[in-house]
Amino acid sequence: MRGKEFPQKKVLSLVLCVAVMLSVMVMGAGAAFSDQDKIENTEAVDACSALNIIGGYPDGSYKPEGNIKRSEICKMICVALNGGEEPTLGTPATPTFSDVRNTPNAAWAEKYIESCVSQGIVSGVGGGRFSPNGNVTGSQLAKMLLVCLGFDSDIEGYTGNAWDMNVNVRATQKGLYKGLEGLDVSAALTRDTAAQMVWNALQAGEV
């Protein structure tokens, strides 16, 4: 049985208010990461860390140069939409995807994946699979964030052959790629870059 879902829009406004209040305080908060010197988007990582949207690894590192996984993005989005708090979520008796519950290092994310799918934020990769440990491109994350901001995928043309072009036009307008000049939106995102895009979305405002 699914747990309580949370509203998709409006909550981003709450997160933004908190983010603004913390923006001065979080500078240097990322110093807790053992590999802080490798983080390029320091303010974004620090802010998202302070807002509980992202976290590090047991060894104290953040691994900014590592690729962000689809499962990790789903958790980040769920926490962001819930005002920086861990949401109360459940999982269905029968999983939507065949490769989540029984995939090593992915079962933990099932509730976040199911929630994002139910809200139309993300979808599977075909064949009943989600590919939880798969990479995420800039365009793919931008699409997820735009939906979180209230844009309708069907109306905006985020499906079909031209989805990425439509996404990138709107993402640029909303500033989702701010501070990421030269970003290859078709390439796998690093954890560093993903944090910057999420931070940009929190400051973008809703539709």
Q: What is the pLDDT of residues 63-90, one digit of tens each?
A: 999 999 999 999 999 999 888 889 999 9
- On whether residue 125 sits in a domain, the answer given is yes
- Show the tokens assigned to 21: 């209040």
Kindly state whether residue 154 falls inside one of the protein's structural domains. Answer: yes
Q: How many domains does the chain have?
A: 1
Which pLDDT does position 11 carry in this prediction? Answer: 47
pLDDT at 25 over 60: no
Cα 120 from Cα 118, distance rounded (Å): 6
- 130 found inside a domain: yes
Residue 111 lies in a domain: yes
Q: Is residue 127 part of a domain?
A: yes
CA distance 195 to 207: 21
Domain that holds residue 21: 11-202
Q: Which of 94, 80, 65 is nearest to 11 (CA)?
A: 80
Confidence of residue 108 (pLDDT cuts 50, 70, 90): very high
Pair 81, 11: CB distance under 8 Å: yes
pTM of the model: 0.88
How does pLDDT run across 148-186, given as a tens digit for each residue? 999 999 999 999 999 999 999 999 999 999 999 999 999
In a domain, 96, yes or no: yes
Indicate whether 4 belongs to any domain.
Answer: no
Average pLDDT over the chain, rounded to an integer? 87
| Residue 129 phi, psi dihedral angles, 5° rounding | -110, 155
Q: Is residue 207 part of a domain?
A: no
